[in-house]
């Protein structure tokens, strides 16, 4: 199977599984990834961990498939776009465990996630312009919002190999740990998030994504609407009660 998955507690762990191709994405891998991401909608799932088998996270589009010809890039991108929207629209946190290398659409997938854990030896590269392609899979949306407009063109046009230190400095990595500790760190983070106020995490995701296209007045209005929803949640009640009782909260995700 080009994508494998398992559930550990409330965490759905999804792994790209084409290690000999550095988890390059072809049609069947993208379809399998989309099916796996659909499982995240299950109410028992409260966080998702995305990772790669073998020595890399993901090398982006399978260039053998691209070279074979007959691939309508625009039509093919609907598969990438669906996956990116599944990650962004999922009302639960998604952690990317990025070890080895993430390139092209593989880096874009990592950027679509909510948090990125990198290894000290991990390299990121936008890759697209190296083969004379424009960025896709949301990279022109996520990259400038992550590293800033002033750096986005350079990373996209010159496609440098970014090491983990640069990734951390640019805000592309949330955590950098020893290369062989990436999965462990990401699993810990995902488990912690899965024990959190899941519904509120979904609202945070929604608010941040919406803020990218709204003006301040609209943002303030949306925040007020979402705060009403959060305020009606059982987890809010529990959070406040736990604070007053000087104990850790036990969130149900509702």
Q: State the residues that interact with ligand LHQ by CB under 6 A.
A: 21-22, 24, 59-64, 66, 73, 76-77, 101, 103-105, 125, 127-128, 130-131, 133, 136
**DSSP H or E segment with residue 161:** none
Pick the closer one to ligand LHQ by CB: 105 or 111: 105
Dihedral of the alpha carbons of 110, 116, 121, 122, in degrees to the nearest 10: 10
Pick the closer one to ligand LHQ by CB: 66 or 242: 66
Pick the closer one to ligand LHQ by CB: 72 or 245: 72
Secondary structure (3-state) at 220: helix
Strands (E), the chain: 3-8, 11-16, 47-52, 94-98, 101-103, 115-119, 123-125, 175-177
Pick the closer one to ligand LHQ by CB: 106 or 196: 106
Task: State the minimum distance, in angstroms, from the CB of residue 213 to ligand LHQ.
Answer: 24
Task: State the minimum distance, in angstroms, from the CB of residue 234 to ligand LHQ.
Answer: 42
Query: Residue 9 in contact with residue 57, Cβ under 8 Å?
Result: no
Pick the closer one to ligand LHQ by CB: 11 or 143: 143
Encoding tokens for residue 221? 């209005």
Task: State the minimum distance, in angstroms, from the CB of residue 95 to ligand LHQ.
Answer: 21
Secondary structure (3-state) at 27: helix
Task: State the minimum distance, in angstroms, from the CB of residue 132 to ligand LHQ.
Answer: 10
Task: State the minimum distance, in angstroms, from the CB of residue 232 to ligand LHQ.
Answer: 42
Of 169, 82, 66, the C-alpha closest to 127 is 66
Instruction: List Cβ neighbours of 87 (8 Å cut-off, separation of 6 or more).
Output: 37, 48, 50, 94, 109, 112, 113
Encoding tokens for residue 247? 């104990």
Secondary structure (3-state) at 112: helix
- The whole-angstrom distance between residue 168's C-alpha and the CA centroid of its chain comes to 16
Pick the closer one to ligand LHQ by CB: 159 or 174: 159
Task: State the minimum distance, in angstroms, from the CB of residue 240 to ligand LHQ.
Answer: 46
């Amino acid at each position: 199977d080009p994508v494998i998955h398992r559930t550990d507690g409330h965490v759905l762990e999804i792994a790209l599984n084409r290690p000999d191709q550095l988890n390059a994405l072809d049609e069947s891998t993208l379809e399998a990834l989309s099916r796996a991401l659909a499982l995240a909608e299950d109410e028992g799932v409260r966080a998702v961990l995305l990772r790669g088998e073998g020595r890399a996270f993901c090398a982006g589009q399978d260039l053998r498939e691209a070279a074979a010809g007959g691939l309508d890039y625009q039509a093919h991108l609907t598969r990438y776009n669906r996956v990116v929207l599944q990650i962004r629209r999922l009302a639960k946190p998604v952690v990317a465990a990025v070890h080895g290398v993430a390139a092209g659409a593989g880096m874009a997938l990592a950027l679509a996630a909510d948090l990125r854990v990198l290894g000290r030896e991990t390299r990121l590269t936008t890759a697209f312009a190296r083969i004379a392609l424009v960025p896709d899979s949301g990279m022109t949306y996520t990259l400038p919002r992550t590293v800033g407009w002033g750096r986005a063109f350079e990373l996209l046009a010159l496609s440098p190999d970014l090491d983990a230190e640069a990734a951390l400095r640019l805000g592309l990595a949330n955590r950098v740990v020893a290369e062989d500790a990436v999965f462990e760190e990401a699993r810990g983070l995902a488990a912690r998030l899965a024990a959190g106020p899941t519904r509120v995490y979904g609202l945070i995701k929604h608010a941040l994504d919406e803020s990218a296209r709204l003006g301040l007045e609209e943002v303030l209005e949306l925040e007020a609407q979402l705060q009403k929803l959060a305020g009606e949640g059982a987890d809010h009640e529990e959070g406040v009660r736990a604070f007053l009782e000087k104990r850790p909260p036990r969130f149900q995700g509702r």
